[in-house]
Structure 1
C-alpha cells in the first residue's frame, strides 16, 4: 500500500519545521543590536515577533524577527526611521550586509539573518513601515493570540496550514507577504467547524485567489489592513502563481476524495515544486 496524501503533506510540513535550536545563533546577536539601538536612537523595548515566535517558521527560509520600539518623535516618513536604523546597525556591524526590506532592516550575519522591525508605540500597538507605502498600525501580541486561539480550536491546524502556505511561497518564489498568508490561514479556519489538510489547503488558496489578493481587515479589529504584495507588479505575478496553485490543489483534493492518493500526491508535488 502506497503513502497517503495526508502522510505526504505531513512529511513535507515536518521537513520544513525548524528545530528548537535552529535559530539560536541568529538570536545571540539580539543583545548587541539592542545595545546599539538604545545608545544611538533610544529604545523602549525589543521583543521577538514573526513566524519563528509564532510557530509557523520555515526551515532554511525564516529569519529571527524582532520589533524594536524606538523613543523620540515619529518622523513623517517611515523611510527616515528605516534609514536611521540601517545606518546605526551598519556602523556597528561593519562586516555584515545590512539592508532594508520593508517593514524591516535585515542584518545578514554569517550564522543567521536577523530582521529588526523598527516601530513607534501608540496605545497598545505600534506604527511600522507599511510594505506598500506609508505607515501601518500593528498589534503583534494580539495577532499572535488570535492565531494561537484558532490553532488550539483546530488542534494545531491553523499553524500547520500557515506553514504549508509559506513553504509553497518559498519553493515557488511567490512574492506575497508571509504575514498575509498567516492571517489569511487563521481567518479561513476561524469560519470552519473542522480542519482537513488537503481540503483546507485548497480552500485557503482559492479564497485568496478569488479575492484577488486584496488587503484584508485586521481580524482582531485593532490594526491596519494587511497587504498581500509590495507592488502591483508583484501582485500580478503572485496572482498568476496562485491560479496555478489553486488548480493543482483542487486536483489533489479531488483525487484524494476519489481514493486515488497516488495521483493526489503527484499534484501535491507539482504544487510544492517537489
Structure 2
C-alpha cells in the first residue's frame, strides 16, 4: 500500500526533531559561560531562549541559545557590549572559535555551538543588538508564551508546523531568520480554527511570500518588528526560493486532496530537497 503524503511528512518531521539529549553538550557549557561573564562583566540572569527552548529546533541545525542579562549601563553602541563579551569568552576558551554574529556571540566548541545573546534589562523586556543597526527591544519569555498558547490551542500542531518550515529553510539554504519563520507560522495558525498538515504548510509559505518577507509587527504587541533577512540581496534570494516552495507545497496539497499520494510525496521531496 502506498504511503500517504501526511505519513511521509510526519516521518520527515520526526527525523529532524531533536531528542532530549542531543543538546546536552551545548547546554553543558552554560555554567562556565555564565561564571566567566559574571566575574568580569556582571550578570543579572542567564536563561535559554530560541527554537530549542520553544520546542521548534531542528536536528543538526539548531544551536543552544542563551540570553544573558548584563549589569551596568547600556553603552551607546551594541558593538561595545558584543566585543567585550567576545573578548571575555575568548580569553576563557582560548582553543574555541568565538565570533560575533549580531545579536549574538557564538562559541564554536568542539562538541557544540552555543549562541550567547548579551542584553540589558528594560522596565519591561530586554535591549539587545539589532541585527541591522543600533538596539532593539525583545521579549523572549512573552514570545515563547505566545507560541505555546497557540500551539496548545491546536494540540501541538503549531510547533510541528514551525519545525517543518524551518526544515525547508535549512535543507534549501534559505537565508531567512528562524525567529521570523516561527512567528509568521504562529501568527498564521492563530487565525485558524483547525489544522490540516499539507494545507497549513502551503498557507504558511504562501502568506510569507505574499508579505514579500517584509518585517512583521510583534504579534504580542510588545517588542520591535521581526526582520526576515539581513540584507536586500538575501531577501531576493529567499523570495526566489520561497516562490518555488509555494508552488511545490500547493501541488503536494492538491495531489493529496485528489488521493494521489505518489505525486504528492514527489512534490514534498522536491520541497524539502530529499
In 1, Cα distance between the equivalents of 2:113 and 2:191? Answer: 35
Per-residue CA deviation, residues 128-175 of structure 1 (Å, 9 max, x unaligned), is: 111222211110000000000000111111100110011111100000
**Runs (5+) with no aligned partner, structure 1:** none
Matched, 1:163 2:157: no
Per-residue CA deviation, residues 212-263 of structure 1 (Å, 9 max, x unaligned), is: 1000100000000000011111111101110111110111111111111110
Per-residue CA deviation, residues 81-126 of structure 1 (Å, 9 max, x unaligned), is: 1111111111110000011111111101011111000101002300
Count matched residues: 274
Alpha-carbon RMSD = 0.7
In 2, Cα distance between the equivalents of 1:130 and 1:229? Answer: 12
In 2, Cα distance between the equivalents of 1:79 and 1:200? Answer: 40
Contact residue 119 and residue 128 of structure 1 kept, 8 A: yes
What residue is the counterpart of 1:227 in the other structure? Answer: 227
What residue is the counterpart of 2:72 in the other structure? Answer: 72
In 1, Cα distance between the equivalents of 2:224 and 2:205? Answer: 22
What residue is the counterpart of 1:141 in the other structure? Answer: 141
Contact residue 127 and residue 136 of structure 1 kept, 8 A: yes
What residue is the counterpart of 1:17 in the other structure? Answer: 17
TM (norm. structure 1) is: 0.99
**Runs (5+) with no aligned partner, structure 2:** none
The list of structure 1 runs, each at least 4 consecutive aligned residues, that deviate by more than 2 angstroms after superposition, is: none
Contact residue 177 and residue 228 of structure 1 kept, 8 A: yes
Mapping for residues 15-54 of structure 1, pairs under 5 Å: 15-54=15-54
